[in-house]
Structure 1
Amino acid sequence: MKGILKLAFKLLVNDKGKYAALLVGITFAVFLMVQMTSIFSGILAKASSTVINLGAKVWVLDPAVNNVANSIPMPDYVLNAVRSIDGVEYAVPMYSGGALVKLKNGVFQSVTILGLDDNSLVGRPELIEGEIEDIYAENAFIVVDDAEIAKLENPGIGTEFELNDHRGVIVGIAKVASSGLFGIPTLYTTYSKAIQYIPSTRFTIAFILVEPKSSDAIPHIQHQVKRLGYEALTEEEFMQKISNYYKYKTGLGTNIFIMTIVSFLVGLSISGQTFYTFILENLEKFGALKAIGIKGKELVYMILFQAGLTAVIGYGLGVGFCTLIITIAKLKVPDYSANITFTTLGFAFVMVLIIAGISSYIGIRKVLKIEPFDIFRS
């Protein structure tokens, strides 16, 4: 068997043009599939950035809310009711909303304002500069140092701006685990200042952050919140709800899926056609092998080895090329959304195996039909 596979390898690489065409087809297909799915994965991760950064175990929200950016304010009695549920260690309100700030140069910039509970500051970010206690000062805000901070002219501690005719002052610079999706800078302040500075509706609680006494208490909390007419989700459940929204209720998921399928078909067509041409050009050699006693099963092993080897090498080249492009893009465009995950790599690998399997099947059918006397007669 070792000799048969060695012979298959020599047949494969002997025609360098056909071999290169096979590799290019699979590499290009893998690159496109990994690129598309990585972008989608990055977008989904950034869509849940607020959930990731605040780190609350349970989120209470209106059932109609499908992502953090579009919250529906809840009345104050919901907060009191949640606090009275057995199994709740504590529950705090959170403000989330958008605003326009006026910079020193007169430019207006959209920002996301997150208002933390005044007493506990649950969900506060890690500070790079400044002290967290300074957030209680008048007009105090903390800015997140991410890819969007340049839109605020890279403010430092003491930088002033105007927010709805109120003076704002940067008292701290924070870092977070994940930056936002929509390219909007983020400012933290206290809940009381947020509802004071930003025009709002009658109700101002965007979300209620709950700390359960134990993991076993979460189902009971969820049941009691549901009886109030609201929804309690764990961090993972909320992130999944946001992902489902972007997958199924926007055109994003459909477009990415279509592009991925197109990438698969491109790779399949190029590889299938090239591999079929390769088999046709080597029919005489396969027929000669049959004539000297090589069994059909061994010929099948040869073709599977050739297709599999090409697929694996093309997969490696495609993943490497995609990783290089994403790395360069992130260096040049800091807010570029693309994350290569194990799921992305696994999906691309399965699709490559399908391409290799279909290409092999086309070649195997042709080789098994050939008869040695046809070769020698011609």
Structure 2
Amino acid sequence: MRKNMKKSGILRIGLKLLISDKTKFSALLIGISFAVFLMTQMTAMFAGILNRAHSTVTNIGAAMWIIDPAVNTPTSSVPLPDYLLDIMRSMEGVEYALPLFIGGAQLRLASGTYQGVTVVGLDDASLFGRPELEQGQLQDIYADDSFFVVNDAEYGKLENPALGSTFELNDHRGVIAGIAKVASNGLNGVPTLYTTYSRAIEYIPSTRFTLSYILVKPSNAEAIANIKRNVSQLGYLALTREEFSKRITDFYTYKTGIGTNILLMTVISFLVGLSISGQTFYSFITENVEKFGALKAIGAKGSDLIVMILGMALLTSMTGFGLGIGLVTITVTLVRTVLPNYAAMITFLNLALALCMVIIIAAVSSWFAIRRVLKIEPFDIFRS
């Protein structure tokens, strides 16, 4: 009991000592908060980019995707031979296999301007992967020249079309028959249109092979390995939804400059926070060296002073962490109201990474401070 009271008393002394120097305490909070803000902001942007990178896979929702081995992103498909669809439909363990077309096109809008779009062609019979409609009826997709438009951050680039709005696509007339919403917005900054597979390959020029992907539902979990093996023997890849999403994530992380640049900015933010907090905390200890010497003189042990410094560092770090996370949350929320296509998103992984870095900052700052305090001799303090 006495030992616990002693430790709590030491911590209270450290707290009062820290807060009494408002300038140093404020500088510590600002440095750590700023570092946490930058680190979390960078990683939140990266998480948002990766989430949108595989938005097509998320929105379509197929259990398995048959792709060409060269494919890294859903919008950069390599056409598959038409006979592969028949093979998949007759393969053991496949409950059904459906065609999917994804391609880019230029629309000529009613105002005469041109706008690039992504066109998704769904299986005519099932319309598997269709978005949820906000306006219009599902059966309207089968009417002549009909398309569904996704109401997302890029919707305004099509001049906010209403039901019945028309456009021109490769000398073909197109009509907006429905306005839809999807679970995840795209990354490339272009609007998305949905239509039937047959209309998509008719309106958009392509190679002799028109299949972008084959969507497969395995009959059971045990059939997945068999499907993968058989498709691999044909020279193609069969990936589950999670595997395809990871393939896309790995591509953006390791094979583009996005991952490297975000990592570099995060490291710089960490070093900024470490240098500011470390320097400020060490300066605080140096300026109060007489007080630590006095504590030693009245019986405080080295372990007591270590507990005090760790408590001070922990309090400052956790307070700065909370302020930084709060600032990031406010910033992301406000920016999203102004820029709907802002991709940043805060995840538990972002928070955990920032927390680990803050703990490292606190540990390094404490280490230098502890080394300085343990060298203090009470005799030298009172002699001076």
Shared fold (TM-score, shorter chain, > 0.5)? yes
Secondary structure of the residue that 2:222 maps to in structure 1? helix
Deviation at 1:215, TM superposition (A): 1.8
Deviation at 1:368, TM superposition (A): 0.5
> Which string of whole-angstrom CA distances, capped at 9 and with x for unpartnered residues, describes residues 300-328 of structure 1?
00000000110000000000001100100
Counterpart Cα distance in 2 of 1:283 and 1:66: 59
Counterpart Cα distance in 2 of 1:167 and 1:333: 32
Is 1:353 aligned with 2:359?
A: yes
Counterpart Cα distance in 2 of 1:357 and 1:302: 13
> Which string of whole-angstrom CA distances, capped at 9 and with x for unpartnered residues, describes residues 209-238 of structure 1?
111111221111111111111001111111
Q: How does 1:2-13 map to 2 (within 5 A)?
A: 2-13=8-19
RMSD after superposition? 0.6
Q: Which residue of 1 aligns with 2:37?
A: 31
Higher deviation after alignment, 78-87 or 254-263:
78-87
Deviation at 1:69, TM superposition (A): 1.5
Deviation at 1:86, TM superposition (A): 1.1
Deviation at 1:183, TM superposition (A): 0.9
> Which string of whole-angstrom CA distances, capped at 9 and with x for unpartnered residues, describes residues 66-115 of structure 1?
11111000001111111121111100010000000000000000000000
Q: Which residue of 1 aligns with 2:159?
A: 153
Counterpart Cα distance in 1 of 2:136 and 2:218: 31
> Which string of whole-angstrom CA distances, capped at 9 and with x for unpartnered residues, describes residues 14-51 of structure 1?
10000000000000000000000000000001111100
Q: How does 1:266-285 map to 2 (within 5 A)?
A: 266-285=272-291
Q: How does 1:72-83 map to 2 (within 5 A)?
A: 72-83=78-89
**Which contiguous aligned blocks of 4+ residues in structure 1 show a shift greater than 6 angstroms?**
none
Counterpart Cα distance in 2 of 1:322 and 1:70: 33
Equivalent pairs counted in the alignment come to 378
Q: Which residue of 1 aligns with 2:58?
A: 52
TM-score (norm 2): 0.98
Counterpart Cα distance in 1 of 2:109 and 2:328: 39
Q: Which residue of 1 aligns with 2:309?
A: 303
Secondary structure of the residue that 1:6 maps to in structure 2? helix
TM-score (norm 1): 0.99
Q: Which residue of 2 aligns with 1:204?
A: 210
Q: How does 1:44-123 map to 2 (within 5 A)?
A: 44-123=50-129
Counterpart Cα distance in 2 of 1:123 and 1:212: 16
Is 1:367 aligned with 2:373?
A: yes
Seq. identity, %: 61
Counterpart Cα distance in 1 of 2:241 and 2:306: 50
Counterpart Cα distance in 2 of 1:334 and 1:36: 18
Counterpart Cα distance in 1 of 2:349 and 2:75: 26
Aligned match for 2:231, one of 216, 220, 225: 225
Aligned residue identity for 1:223: R
Aligned residue identity for 1:291: A
> Which string of whole-angstrom CA distances, capped at 9 and with x for unpartnered residues, describes residues 251-272 of structure 1?
0100000000000000000000
Counterpart Cα distance in 2 of 1:181 and 1:87: 34
Aligned residue identity for 1:319: I
Counterpart Cα distance in 2 of 1:211 and 1:222: 12
Structure 2: runs of 5 or more not aligned? 1-6
Counterpart Cα distance in 2 of 1:368 and 1:84: 76
Deviation at 1:138, TM superposition (A): 1.0
Is 1:14 aligned with 2:23?
A: no
Secondary structure of the residue that 1:215 maps to in structure 2? coil
Structure 1: runs of 5 or more not aligned? none
Counterpart Cα distance in 2 of 1:325 and 1:185: 26
> Which string of whole-angstrom CA distances, capped at 9 and with x for unpartnered residues, describes residues 140-180 of structure 1?
10000101000001111100000000000000111100111
Q: How does 1:150-189 map to 2 (within 5 A)?
A: 150-189=156-195
Q: Which residue of 1 aligns with 2:246?
A: 240
Counterpart Cα distance in 1 of 2:301 and 2:216: 68
Aligned residue identity for 1:157: L
Q: Which residue of 2 aligns with 1:286?
A: 292
Aligned match for 2:349, one of 340, 343, 346: 343
Counterpart Cα distance in 2 of 1:109 and 1:3: 69
Counterpart Cα distance in 2 of 1:246 and 1:53: 19
